Amino acid sequence: MTLASPPVPLPSVAAALEAVRPGATLMVGGFGLVGAPLTLIEGLLEHPGARDLTIISNNLGEPGRGLGRLLLEGRVRKAIGSFFTSNPDVVAAYQEGRLEVELLPQGTLAEAIRAGGAGIGGFYTRTAWGTALAGGREERIIRGEPHLFYESLRADVALVRARAADELGNLVYSKTARNFNPDMATAADVVIAEVDEVVPVGALDPEEIVTPHPYVTTVVLSGKAAAR
């Protein structure tokens, strides 16, 4: 498909990211760099208000790439996610006391975001019970099995990556680049979606829409789209 020119001009990345204030909590989609909103992340580097951030994301990018760059620039205060070991810069920042880390099992992270987006305060899961990650969490026996209580997660701003949006902001995704993006698109006060194309209303099959438009605050074009 070719890029449609929407009748309403889309905001620039910089304008969209004005919603990010110092000290904000951000959800950032992606599994490693796959499905990560790389244009928005680069935009954060140019945005002085993007500092002292708490980032909720499965990983913190790769060394010097994606969220890894934001970390290297000292913009991230705390990371909440499931797998940071693949970026040695995260390990170093943590060991030097420059970064606070909250580690959650990946399924618990995903469910905490889903619940946060669904108006649910928290949930019980068997995952991590009886392990060093359980901490001092509340326990409860449900159907004979011990469960741990987790509060749901919400953010001030979510940065998500989708394949396409229509002019209302309905989103469709691409293959495994979907991952955390639809969950995060429900769980923040402001949701900014980075897409490769914007199509007219009616051009997306309603059966294919994963994120309905009321969840989406702003749509911006990816660098990939801008390059075309």
34 touches 177 (CB < 8 A): yes
Span interacting with another protein, options 14-22, 30-38, 44-52, 136-144, rule CB under 8 A: 30-38
Smallest gap from Cβ 29 to another protein, in A, equals 9
Binding mask 187-216 for another protein (x = CB under 8 A): -----------------------x------
Spatial distance between the Cα atoms of 7 and 35, rounded to a whole number of angstroms: 27
Instruction: Report if residue 72 touches another protein, rule: CB under 8 A.
Output: no
Beta strands in 86-184 (DSSP E): 100-103, 122-125, 139-142, 145-151, 155-161, 164-166, 171-172
Instruction: Report if residue 181 touches another protein, rule: CB under 8 A.
Output: yes
Instruction: Report if residue 160 touches another protein, rule: CB under 8 A.
Output: no
Smallest gap from Cβ 21 to another protein, in A, equals 27
Instruction: Report if residue 39 touches another protein, rule: CB under 8 A.
Output: no
Q: Which residue, 214, 180, 160, is CA-closest to 111?
A: 180
Q: Which one of 89, 166, 183, 197 is in contact with another protein (CB under 8 A)?
A: 183
Instruction: Report if residue 34 touches another protein, rule: CB under 8 A.
Output: yes
| Type of residue numbered 140 | R
In DSSP terms, which residues pair with 149 in a beta bridge? Answer: 124
DSSP 197-215: EEE-TT-S-TTT-SB-GGG
The binding site for another protein (CB under 8 A) comprises: 31-32, 34-35, 58, 82-86, 90-91, 94-95, 101, 103-111, 113-114, 125-133, 173-183, 210
